Structure 1
Amino acid sequence: MAPVSGVETLMRGISFFVILAVAVSFAVFFRAPDAIAADESAVVRVAADPWCPYNCNPGDAKPGFLIEIGREAFAMSGYEMRYEVMPWSRALRESYVGNVDAAVGATRATAPEHLFGSNMLSSDETIVFVRVGEIFDFTGVDSLKALRLGVIKDYTYDDNGPIDSYIAENRGNLDRVITVSSHSNLGLLFRMLLAGRIDAFLENRHVGTYMASALNVRDSIALVPTGALDFVSFAFTPNARGEMLVDAFDAGVTRLRETGRFEEILIRYGLNSLPE
């Protein structure tokens, strides 16, 4: 047999690595369907519009205390939670039909047909935000009639109480209620308020003040309490998977509370006084 030349040896080596690379590619891209399904079932997809400090932007060092609590709670049951941003009305719709597993920061009134666990995660106090120097006292919904009031589509501000009823009744009257729906609802409302396009808007106390500080306009706004208080958590898809995720979520949150980790996360956001 003729001796093998150096070129032939090199070509055989190259051929071997090409075959190995092809084999690895087939192993990665042509896995069994059951293995792929198993991987996906361990992923919990949640969504919301930015509502800092509850849920902020996915890539932030501090993505929001609800996001941190959710990730750690689900991890205890072997799940990986992935958070994505979308308009709030879409987050409610997508989580209801199961395209994502949950909407983050929902109240029972906002998502009445979704599933909720026994652990509500935080308070939601509704405040009227006005420009500094504007004279306004909230004495009930009738006092809102003097305002061009900004609101966010599909938000609830007092658990379907008098404020929500007032908004529903006046939604078509642009002299009283102006509705927004975007990827940055709150930023838009601040711009409209400071530009004089609206007289006031409704928002959660913590969310509004957090955004005002981020926009460096805290000294330009004043806060007027309404007395409306609710509680928020994750709203899950109403199906069998949703029921399973509720159980995992509740177990994880309970454990976080027992170990003190729940409070540690809140402290990172300066919100350690929030009720259970």
Structure 2
Amino acid sequence: MIVDMKKRRFSVYSYRTLVLCILFLAGVFFALPVVAEDSVVRVHSDIWMPYNGVPGSDEEGYAVDILREIFTPHDIRVEYADRSWNRSVLGLEQGGTDLVIGAFKFEVPNCIFPETTIGETVMGLYSTNPHLKINDYDGLRDLKIGIVSGWGYRKWLLEDAEKHPENYIRLYGDEAFPKLMELLLAHRVQLIPGSSMVMNYQIKRNGLQDKVFFVGYGPSPKSEKLYYAFSPLHPERSRRLAKIVDDGMKRLRESGRLAAILAKYGLSDWE
């Protein structure tokens, strides 16, 4: 039998080319960023009660409870995990996190936000000394102030921390805020700034009404709205999820279910 070597050579080369093309396309496919399926929403934030608490506990926080109420009817599972704020925001930008809880728009301006807020808060100043009254920069001098690195404090406070770093103690990581409270109670810091909602909740929950006191707003008592912030990596998906949140929040508010969720934490509707 006579074999046409040209045809054989062509067949071998064609086969090799086909294999290489398949391998190349497979490499490209697996190199592409993975878009999470709509069946799961990955929620990451540091513990910030009453907005979000310990994952899997009886009180995960009202912002987590709301998400579960909204997404469950759409067969979307909420995967909530406790991570430091810096890690959570990094996950929004690089992948691995679909949304964070309790963001100010100025903190993550590239993210996608629902129209619906999850509350409104003002940054207060808290101390174990009830006689302190701080309404301007002068009141901050000669005090040791504790802050959490990466948190979205008011601009005036962050600028003061840059100008007077010797007056500030910065804590990092998942347990930074509870450690700040411990430092305050141990008088190792004299002042901590924080969301009025969060601080008042912690003070009441831990029976600290006679130990930790609100001592002023500093130079600016302006309140800020809080949001769920969705990842900018996949904007179409994030906009779709944000729309579900808007529609769901309206449904919860009209049905009275939102009021029931908030009542669990001793709160009422912010609108």
Q: When the two structures are superposed, what TM-score results if normalisation uses the length of structure 1?
A: 0.77
Query: Which amino acid counterpart does residue 67 of structure 1 have in structure 2?
Result: V
CA contact 1:138–1:224 (8 Å) conserved in 2: yes
Deviation at 1:228, TM superposition (A): 3.4
1:115 corresponds to which of 112, 115, 127: 112
Deviation at 1:45, TM superposition (A): 0.6
Q: Which residue of 1 aligns with 2:102?
A: 105
Q: For the structure 1 residues 268 and 146, does the alpha-carbon distance in structure 2 shift closer, same or farther, using more than 3 Å as the test?
A: same
Deviation at 1:78, TM superposition (A): 2.6
CA contact 2:43–2:97 (8 Å) conserved in 1: yes
Q: Which residue of 2 aligns with 1:85?
A: 82
Please tell me the root mean square deviation across aligned C-alpha atoms, in Å. 2.1
1:250 corresponds to which of 246, 251, 262: 246
Q: For the structure 1 residues 179 and 54, does the alpha-carbon distance in structure 2 shift closer, same or farther, using more than 3 Å as the test?
A: same
1:52 corresponds to which of 34, 38, 49: 49
Give deviations 1:114-148, integer Å, cap 9, x for gaps: 11110011112211110144x32122234223321
Deviation at 1:181, TM superposition (A): 1.6
Deviation at 1:216, TM superposition (A): 4.1
Q: Which residue of 2 aligns with 1:204?
A: 195
Q: Which residue of 1 aligns with 2:31?
A: none
Are 1:232 and 2:229 matched, yes or no?
A: no
**Matched residues in 2 for 1:214 and 1:275: separation?**
20
**Matched residues in 1 for 2:91 and 2:230: separation?**
10
Q: Which residue of 1 aligns with 2:259?
A: 263
Deviation at 1:165, TM superposition (A): 2.8
**Matched residues in 1 for 2:244 and 2:55: separation?**
22
2:137 corresponds to which of 120, 135, 141: 141
Are 1:223 and 2:214 matched, yes or no?
A: yes
Deviation at 1:164, TM superposition (A): 3.4
Query: Which amino acid counterpart does residue 49 of structure 2 have in structure 1?
Result: C
Are 1:184 and 2:180 matched, yes or no?
A: no
**Matched residues in 2 for 1:68 and 1:95: separation?**
21
Deviation at 1:270, TM superposition (A): 1.1
1:217 counterpart SS class:
coil
**Matched residues in 1 for 2:35 and 2:158: separation?**
42
Q: For the structure 1 residues 184 and 211, does the alpha-carbon distance in structure 2 shift closer, same or farther, using more than 3 Å as the test?
A: farther
Q: Percent identity?
A: 26
Off by >6 Å, runs of 4+ in structure 1: none
**Matched residues in 2 for 1:208 and 1:99: separation?**
30
CA contact 1:128–1:225 (8 Å) conserved in 2: yes
1:167 counterpart SS class:
helix
Deviation at 1:50, TM superposition (A): 0.6
Query: Which amino acid counterpart does residue 193 of structure 2 have in structure 1?
Result: L
Q: Which residue of 1 aligns with 2:184?
A: 193
Q: When the two structures are superposed, what TM-score results if normalisation uses the length of structure 2?
A: 0.79
**Matched residues in 2 for 1:266 and 1:70: separation?**
13
**Matched residues in 1 for 2:128 and 2:46: separation?**
24
* Aligned residues between the structures: 233
1:136 counterpart SS class:
coil
Give deviations 1:225-255, integer Å, cap 9, x for gaps: 3123111121110123222211221121122
2:74 counterpart SS class:
coil
Give deviations 1:24-62, integer Å, cap 9, x for gaps: xxxxxxxxxxxxx99943100101111111101012111
Query: Which amino acid counterpart does residue 41 of structure 1 have in structure 2?
Result: D
Deviation at 1:182, TM superposition (A): 2.0
Where in structure 2 are there 5+ consecutive unaligned residues?
A: 1-33
Deviation at 1:214, TM superposition (A): 4.2
1:246 counterpart SS class:
helix
**Matched residues in 2 for 1:39 and 1:103: separation?**
15
**Matched residues in 2 for 1:152 and 1:39: separation?**
30
